[in-house]
Amino acid sequence: MKRFYNKTIYETLKEIVAPEHTALVVWDVQNALVNNIFNKEGLLKNLKDIIQAAREKEISIIYTKITPLPPDYNSSWSVYMMMKRYGVDDPARLPQFMRPGTTDADIASDVAPSDKDVVIKKHTASIFIGTHVEYMLRNKGIDTIVFTGIATELGVSSSARDASNRGFYPVVVKDCVSSMDKEMHEASLKVLSRLCIVVPCAEIIKEWKGDR
């Protein structure tokens, strides 16, 4: 740890993920996504482990949920991208996705939030856009955001990059993130390793458990 122009510079993983200034993000671990990733069982096991470790250290945990806007409030660009993703030529034929109240939209029961956790309903691939998350984190003195969830190449990557741009330490837990596309997942982790701290969950849990 160093001091530089009245700022504290964390250097080791232990310093970076110290519980007193760290938050854990569980990104979009909803049934519709969990049931289609390439490593469902492994992801859920690792998520349970890191969430439990965070709770034991009273680390702030923020869950996110994809919450679609009413169709007439979507941007032209987002409709275009959904048409490409689902292979339809008429936006009226787009499937209803993650509608509130459906089991598809529910967070997977194996890693469900507790009453103390925060659940954010959001509409974009960044945890910061259209939410109060940055305000909340600043108020709690959070310097580090540990990212987990789905999908590595989409919301996890966008949010981690955005966190870096806003001055947070972004940590991506490489065996607690996943995708429907294994190759895309692996390529994204490779890129993120140049921009963020990318480590397995065992290393973070070790630092948290050692912080007595």
Q: Where are the domains of the chain?
A: 7-70+102-210
Give 111-117 contacts, CB < 8 A, sequence gap 24+. 111/26, 111/29, 111/44, 111/47, 111/48, 111/51, 113/26, 113/61, 113/63, 114/55, 114/61, 116/55, 116/61, 117/61, 117/62, 117/63
Q: What is the pLDDT of residues 8-32, one digit of tens each?
A: 999 999 999 999 999 999 999 999 9
pLDDT at 135: 98
Q: What is the pLDDT of residues 111-136, one digit of tens each?
A: 999 999 999 999 999 999 999 999 99
Contact 10, 1 (CB under 8 A): yes
pLDDT at 21: 98
- Give the residue, 103 or 202, on which the prediction is more confident: 202
Q: Give the class (CATH, top level) of 7-70+102-210.
A: alpha beta
Tokens matching residue 130: 């259209």
Is the pLDDT reported for residue 98 higher than 90? no
- 14-52 residues labelled b (16+ CB within 10 A) or e (exposed): bbbbbbebbbbbbbbbbbbbbeebeeeeebbebbebbbe
Omega of the bond prior to 151 within 30 degrees of 0, cis? yes
Reported as a pLDDT band with limits 50, 70 and 90, residue 97 is confident
Q: Provide, rounded to the nearest whole percent, the portion of the chain with pLDDT above 90.
A: 84
Specify burial of residue 187 (Cβ count, 10 A radius: 0-12, 13-18, 19+): middle
pLDDT at 19: 98
Q: Round to whole Å and give the CA distance between 201 and 2.
A: 26
Reported as a pLDDT band with limits 50, 70 and 90, residue 173 is very high
pLDDT at 156: 98
pLDDT at 211: 57
Tokens matching residue 152: 């590595």
pLDDT at 183: 97
Contact 16, 144 (CB under 8 A): yes
Contact 23, 173 (CB under 8 A): no
Stretch (H or E) spanning 118: strand 118-122
Sequence-distant (6+) residues with CB within 8 A of 86 are 94, 95
Reported as a pLDDT band with limits 50, 70 and 90, residue 40 is very high
Q: Provide, rounded to the nearest whole percent, the portion of the chain with pLDDT above 70.
A: 99
